[in-house]
Amino acid sequence: MIKVGVLGARGRVGVEVCKAVEAATDMELVAALDKDDPIEGLEGAEVVVDFTHPDVVMGNLEWAIAHGVHPVVGTTGFDAGRLETVRGWLAQSPGTHCLIAPNFGIAAVLMMRFAQQAARYFDSVEIVELHHPNKADAPSGTARRTAELVAEARAKAGVGPMPDATSTSLDGARGADVEGVRVHAVRLAGLIAHQEVLLGGAGETLTIRHDTMSRSAFAPGVLLAVRRVRELPGLTVGLEPLLDL
């Protein structure tokens, strides 16, 4: 039995994760902690799942890694600097591993991979992410990661900058620039989590769309990561290696 702790246990995703861990026959939920619960409640956990908030996740990770608890992290807000800090903490705590994924939905991971594969064949790529209005961050972690993968694929293939003759616009009209890829964030009541990757070339376009219909979609990916994190040394970013992608 894998002893699992959950941080953010009363949150929208945390609730689903706790249900899934409790239903798994090879796991035991030993701690379900939320805001204001002492993090020492994680003592005894082998793996901690974090779905909290970008402002608190680094403190949680520092504590978990220092105490030899392997983190599986869904919380967003990770840039290159934060990932480097986590690598530094892991180096100080040999034998402790960490997996951080911007999206644990299998279809979302495939959407990112398909966008990465298609990116080099089109002049233009833009990303529109659409989420519920209570989301803490914009753009989403998934959109940032997709943009990074698209930019990397285009650079590797020697594709030049995207055509855009805009010479005047209102602030924000062209979205955020993530490594040269425009990302637009919609916050709309009624939505959960959705993304479109728009690709355009000579006389045709391709749209790759992903829709999260229920937060239970994240649970299988989280359980997979909980089962496998102990065998993945250091820091793993994304679920892709666990899906043989």
Ligand X SMILES: O=C(O)C1=N[C@H](C(=O)O)C[C@H](O)C1
Ligand Y SMILES: NC(=O)C1=CN([C@@H]2O[C@H](COP(=O)(O)OP(=O)(O)OC[C@H]3O[C@@H](n4cnc5c(N)ncnc54)[C@H](OP(=O)(O)O)[C@@H]3O)[C@@H](O)[C@H]2O)C=CC1
Q: What backbone torsions phi and psi does residue 232 show, to the nearest 5 degrees?
A: -110, 100
Lay out the site mask for ligand X across 86-105 (x = CB under 6 A, - = otherwise): ----------------xx--
The yes or no reply on residue 52 touching ligand X (CB under 6 A) is no
The residue from 70, 97, 131, 210 that is catalytic is 131
The yes or no reply on residue 135 touching ligand X (CB under 6 A) is yes
Count the site residues for ligand Y by CB under 6 A: 25
Provide the β-strand partners of residue 186: 130
d(CA 208, CA 213): 16
The yes or no reply on residue 11 touching ligand Y (CB under 6 A) is yes
102 assigned binding-site residue: yes
Q: What backbone torsions phi and psi does residue 244 show, to the nearest 5 degrees?
A: 55, 35
- Identified binder of ligand Y from the candidate list 31, 51, 146, 178, rule CB under 6 A: 51
The yes or no reply on residue 40 touching ligand Y (CB under 6 A) is no
What does 4 bind: ligand X, ligand Y, none (CB cut-off 5 to 8 Å by kind)? none
- Identified binder of ligand Y from the candidate list 2, 4, 5, 13, rule CB under 6 A: 13
Active site residue 135: yes
| 3-class SS string, 86-147 | HHHHHHCCCCCCEEECCCCCHHHHHHHHHHHHHHHHCCEEEEEEEECCCCCCCCCHHHHHHH
Q: Which of 92, 157, 90 is nearest to 121 (CA)?
A: 157
The secondary element (H helix, E strand) that includes residue 26 is none
**CB neighbour class for 192 (10 Å; exposed up to 12, middle 13-18, buried from 19):** middle
Q: Of 2 and 111, which has the nearer Cβ to ligand X? A: 111
The yes or no reply on residue 60 touching ligand X (CB under 6 A) is no
The yes or no reply on residue 5 touching ligand Y (CB under 6 A) is no
70 assigned binding-site residue: no
The yes or no reply on residue 53 touching ligand Y (CB under 6 A) is yes
Tokens of 208: 């790759």
35 assigned binding-site residue: yes
Contacts of 168 (CB under 8 A, 6+ apart): none
Q: Which residues bind ligand X (CB under 6 A)?
A: 76, 102-103, 131, 135, 140-142, 193
- Binding footprint of ligand Y on the chain (CB under 6 A): 7-8, 10-14, 33-35, 51-54, 56, 74-76, 101-104, 136, 141, 218
